[in-house]
Structure 1
Amino acid sequence: MTRNGIHHVTAIAGSAQRNVDFYTRTLGLRLVKKTVNFDDPGAYHLYYGDAAGSPGTILTFFPWENAAPGRAGAGELQETSFRIPLSAIGYWTERLINFGVERTTRFGETVLTFRDPDGMRLALVGLPGIEAEAAWDNGEIPLENALRGFYGVSLMLERTEATGAILSDVFGFAEVAREGDTTRYQAEGTAIGGIVDLRAVGGFLPARLGRGSVHHLAFRAADDAAEAEMVRKLAANHGLHTTEQKDRNYFRSVYFREPGHVLFEIATDIPGFDVDEPAQTLGEALKLPQFLEPHRAAIEAHLPELV
């Protein structure tokens, strides 16, 4: 079965507690997994999403307390956007007033832009007719106003043609519109996480990774076979080679740099976030991969307590 679209977005934060407060309380997402960076177990890896942690809703963070701020520029994911009911625009304009919220129009849709406490660029896109979609109830934000998964992402690239070819050939997107220096690609039949905008910014300084920056963008693969076919197409049709597959417990991934230098990941939909804890209690306990369990006491002693 083919599933297209965005699987998750992973970014860099500063304070872990501030990150939790903003994304669970201010934006109303569910903390669906509390684990550590498998390559740097002295730091958390926090996953936010909908009630089930569905692909297309997952925003994750590496909170590094002393990370220097990133610098915007070419070769980065510039903005991550979420879907909200069009009727919720007023609610969110008021709620985000302290985060620099601004209202604009893109491709004929109403958009609110703002930044999180670390400077990460975010947006809410108002869409008609999605009020009845399921949403996570955080006990504070009225359900009729809650976020309903990713709308999409915007990449800033020196040139966009080669990246667009990969989106179309490998990931099931198609060019659907152009506006100014931005070309929009959409995954057919994918409502959640189905938009990638490529913005051509020739002449910009290259981006510098840091606090408030996106580390990588992950695309969906239904299973290992679908992922392997994407890897084959990347090599055969685009001359790009991925890493070996890495087991991230909740999905299995390969990584590569796309032609504009953004780090792309291909992540399987399986096995999902309830593989090591019940769906009812997602995100409540610190979960570690098996190879780190012998070091749990030391890891827990080093990590800051989250409330």
Structure 2
Amino acid sequence: MTATTKHGIHHVTAIAGPARRNLDFYTRVLGLRLVKKTVNFDDPGTYHFYFGDEAGSPGTILTFFPWEHAAPGRLGIGETQETVFRVPEGAMGYWTHRFVEKGVAYDALVRRFGEAVLSFRDPDGTRLALVGVPGIESEPAWTGEVPAEFAIRGFHSVNLLLKEAAPTGAILTDVLGFSEVGREGSLVRFKAGDTAIGGIVDIHEAGAFLPGRMGAGSVHHIAFRAADDAEELAMARKLAENHGLQTTEQRDRNYFRSVYFREPGHVLFEIATDIPGFAIDEPVASLGQSLKLPPVYESRRREIEQVLPEVA
């Protein structure tokens, strides 16, 4: 692995209800950039939205499959409990007021591993949080709807709700580039070296509990970073040789190339390459403005555009 290799979260993909409502919340309320408007490669009658920073950098990307009539999911063992964003430490008051003003459901501020955490939910019940991080005010920020001094700076972490932490921890540490760095109550924290954006996974060890049920508000999968195809292949080999876990064949997602597997706690994990990135089919200045289709669907563009809900 090269010195420039960064591990951590590449993206998080969740399930939503109505597309327009999803788009409005993440761009207008949270102030993220829509960096790609495409379709679900397995269901081209459904959008796939990617929200992130200006360029859609790894560690900033939250994506959604919005199905207009998706039934709500149920939180349980074997899924992502919370997706957590970084904001400057002094921004927590701004966000509390913004959530009141916008009618966003949120919880009282708590401290976790010494950091202020503001948990909230989107209109589908997706469980999210903001963590106030000192010293990040000067990091670049997308300033669509939220002033730069308060804006989101990519992911802080994901929180997995699992029966036990150790089996999943073994995959995080041996294959995905993380190390265990702390414990607090039923939480075990893993960190990916010096990766600041998307560099943390928390496991909430909950014991026996109801399994989760996928639906609107549920995280579908978490993707972890590989620099390129060679590193992704090495990680997949290590999964097979050391842990007896087979990945899918590599799938080309246009903006990254991916393999998938179920980790021991039953969460769907993806390994995604940092390359080629979101500017491969449109310039950074106009990311997310037009519907982009994978080549296999381009001949069906008119048909697909007629089926997709209007979101402009």
Same fold by TM-score greater than 0.5: yes
2:65 paired residue number:
62
What corresponds to 2:34 in structure 1? 31
Aligned twin of 1:268: 273
Quick one: which of 124, 131, 134 aligns to 1:118?
124
Per-residue deviation at 1:159?
1.4
Counterpart code for 1:38: F
Aligned partner of 2:161 among 138, 156, 160: 156
Q: Distance in 2 between matches of 1:179 and 1:65?
A: 39
- 1:17 pairs with 2:23: no
> Shift of the alpha carbon at 1:279?
0.7
Structure 1 residue 202: deviation in Å?
A: 1.2
The separation in 2 between residues aligned to 1:5 and 1:144, in whole angstroms, is 25
Q: Following TM superposition, where does structure 1 have runs of at least 4 consecutive aligned residues deviating by more than 2 angstroms?
A: none
Question: Given the alignment of the two structures, is residue 50 of structure 1 paired with residue 56 of structure 2, yes or no?
Answer: no
Residue-by-residue CA offset, 1:205-253 (whole Å, 9 max, x unaligned): 0000000000000000000000000001000111100000000000000
SS in 1 for 2:34: strand
C-alpha distance in 2 between matches for 1:137 and 1:91: 15
Percentage of identical aligned residues: 68
Alpha-carbon contact 2:105-2:122 (below 8 Å) kept: no
Which moves more between the two structures, 99-108 or 84-93?
99-108
Secondary structure at the counterpart of residue 304 of structure 2:
helix
What is the aligned counterpart of 2:199 among 191, 194, 199?
194
Q: 2:178 aligns with which of 173, 178, 195?
A: 173
For 1:223 and 1:121, the matched residues in 2 are separated by 31
Q: Are residue 134 (structure 1) and residue 134 (structure 2) matched?
A: no
2:218 matched residue in structure 1? 213
CA apart distance, 1:158: 1.0
Give the total of aligned pairs: 306
Q: Supply the AA of the counterpart residue of 1:241.
A: Q
Q: What residue identity is the alignment partner of 1:267?
A: A
**Equivalence for 1:292:** 297
Shift of 1:117: 0.4
Please name the residue that 2:113 is paired with: 107
More off after superposition, 96-105 vs 37-46: 96-105
Task: Tell me how far 1:201 sits from its aligned partner.
Answer: 1.1
After TM superposition, the score normalised by the length of structure 1 is: 0.99
In structure 2, give the amino acid aligned to 1:81: V
1:145 match: secondary structure: coil
More displaced 10-residue stretch of structure 1: 38-47 or 89-98: 89-98
The whole-number CA distance in structure 1 between the counterparts of 2:21 and 2:105 is 17
Q: C-alpha distance in 2, partners of 1:230/1:96?
A: 40
SS in 2 for 1:143: coil
In angstroms, what is the RMSD of aligned CA positions?
A: 0.6
1:245 matched to which residue of 2? 250
Q: State the distance in 1 between where 2:60 and 2:260 align.
A: 20
Unaligned runs of at least 5 residues, structure 2 = none
Deviation of the 1:99 alpha carbon:
1.8
Report the alpha carbon displacement of residue 306 of structure 1 after superposing the two structures with TM: 1.2
Once residues 197 and 99 of structure 2 are traced to their aligned partners in structure 1, the CA distance between those partners, rounded to angstroms, is: 23
Letter in 1 for 2:58: P
**Distance (Å, rounded) in 2 between the aligned partners of 1:55 and 1:303:** 27
- Separation (CA, whole Å) in 2 of partners of 1:73 and 1:191: 28
> 2:51 is matched by which residue type in structure 1?
Y
Deviation at 1:190?
Answer: 0.2
Task: Give the deviation of 1:203 after TM superposition.
Answer: 1.4
2:158–2:202 contact (8 Å) kept in structure 1: yes
In structure 1, C-alpha distance between the alignment counterparts of 2:121 and 2:99, rounded to whole Å: 9
Secondary structure in 2 aligned to 1:135? coil
**Are the counterparts in 1 of residues 261 and 268 from structure 2 also a CA contact under 8 Å?**
yes
Read off the aligned partner of 1:117 and give its amino acid letter. P
**What is the CA–CA distance in structure 1 between the aligned matches of 2:55 and 2:236, rounded to whole Å?**
28
Alpha-carbon separation, structure 2, partners of 1:69 and 1:101: 18
Deviation, 1:100, is 2.1
User: Normalising by structure 2, what TM-score?
Assistant: 0.97
Q: Secondary structure at the match of 1:229?
A: helix
SS in 2 for 1:274: helix
Q: Per the alignment, in what secondary structure is the counterpart of residue 232 of structure 2?
A: helix
Alignment partners' CA distance in 2, 1:157 and 1:55: 25
